[in-house]
Amino acid sequence: MTIGILGGGQLGRMLALSGYPLGLNFKTFDPSSEAVAGHVAPLLNEDPNDVDALGWFSKGLDVVTYEWENVPVASARFLEQRVPVFPPPRALEVAGDRLKEKSFFRELGVPCPDFWPISTRQDLELATRESGFPCVLKTRRFGYDGKGQMVLHEPSDVARAWDEIGGVPLILEAFVAFDRELSILATRSREGDMRFYPLVGNHHRGGILRLSIAPAPDHTAELQRDAETFAHKIMDKLDYVGTMALELFQVGERLAANEIAPRVHNSGHWTIEGSATSQFENHLRAVAGLPLGSTQMRTPCAAMVNLIGELPELAKVLRIEGAHAHYYGKDVKPNRKVGHVTLVADDDSELKSRVDTILKLLNFREITS
């Protein structure tokens, strides 16, 4: 079986590396000739809006998937007429527009922050009167890793926010004073079978994920149940096939949905060494029509440290017990995800010690207690 991957970044690279032991083959499609998935699979370097290139790409493929949610929906639908595409293009359509996404949550009864569509500055003025301050203004499309959004703390911020990101479709969201950020990874098969990974605790800085801990410290069975219920509703409604991440805010003992990522996700990288079946392998099993694998953790706890704009000396990383390095083969640039380190341990104290040792090798510092 040959699987086409739209997007050739590190997620596409890790998908291919997870699929080769299953006897799967891959072709990748990315607008950049430097896409790192091209190191491990044939890469077609073309514009994802070019239907001629997409048609050529589809030849010989058994299924198409994607590792990037900003794949043009029209391109996914074009391919769907020629070869099965999973997750379905509808998932791209919903996840690619924050207003559609929040409206979708509301339709399903999945709790999420209050929100207002914004087309003009007058819309923004009126909406902030309803929301109060602080509130968050976001572009509806193409925002990731903290890009395309601003927190408005007071009325005087409205003009500056409009000047900086206005002029495109926007959404204003009520500010959520959350206790922490969580995510749940889930995989759904073609037949509707589902597997859930444990809730993950996430730490961000500058809008970029820096650290994930699994399972999330002090998480409860009730929180896990609620997260699974929300993910189940979303994936069933979309007739989803593949792995999905649902990012959540925890406020007290309640959860609110922030956004979905219709693909394998950064906060699930720990599953490569920490789970019986990684998020990447389960995604491939799902889209290929194979039985899903167990999501049971191999060790009591695990973590993932993102390497942002720097790569520590490999020998120093590998001296740390339970550490596994994943370097993506990218040129090191500021704020660029160039690798990650996963860690496994037998208890929380041991895991924290190992995470802190990794962090000491980096210019970045994070509180993990």
CB 173 within 8 A of CB 101: no
Secondary structure (3-state) at 13: helix
Does 184 share its domain with 331?
A: yes
d(CA 161, CA 149): 9
Structural domain including 313 reads: 180-360
Average pLDDT value over all residues in the chain: 94
Within-domain flag for 109: no
Spell out a b/e string for 209-236, using b for 16 or more CB atoms within 10 Å of the CB, else e: bbbbbbbbeebeeebbebbbebbeebbe
CB 358 within 8 A of CB 212: no
Whether pLDDT at 145 is above 80: no
Reported pTM: 0.94
Where residue 369 falls among pLDDT bands split at 50, 70, 90? very low
* CATH number, domain with residue 146: 3.30.1490.20
Does 207 share its domain with 344?
A: yes
Ramachandran sector of residue 111 (left: φ over 0; alpha: ψ -120 to 50; beta: rest):
beta
Unique residue bearing structure tokens 């709790």: 111
CA distances from 322 to 10, 59, 178, 341, 349 (A): 22, 42, 31, 10, 13
Q: pLDDT by residue (tens digit) across 98-143?
A: 999 999 999 999 999 999 999 999 999 999 999 999 999 999 987 6
Within-domain flag for 295: yes
Token pair for residue 323? 């550490």
Structural domains of the chain, count: 3
Does 238 share its domain with 216?
A: yes
Question: Any residues with CB less than 8 A from the CB of 59 and at least 6 apart, and which?
Answer: none
Last residue of a domain, one of 158, 174, 190: 174
Unique residue bearing structure tokens 């999973």: 86
Does 49 share its domain with 127?
A: no
Does 197 share its domain with 345?
A: yes
* CATH number, domain with residue 21: 3.40.50.20
CA distances from 72 to 6, 11, 79 (A): 10, 18, 11
Residue-level pLDDT at 367? 46
> Which of 280, 336, 279, 271 lies closest to 309, judged by CA?
336
Does 68 share its domain with 9?
A: yes
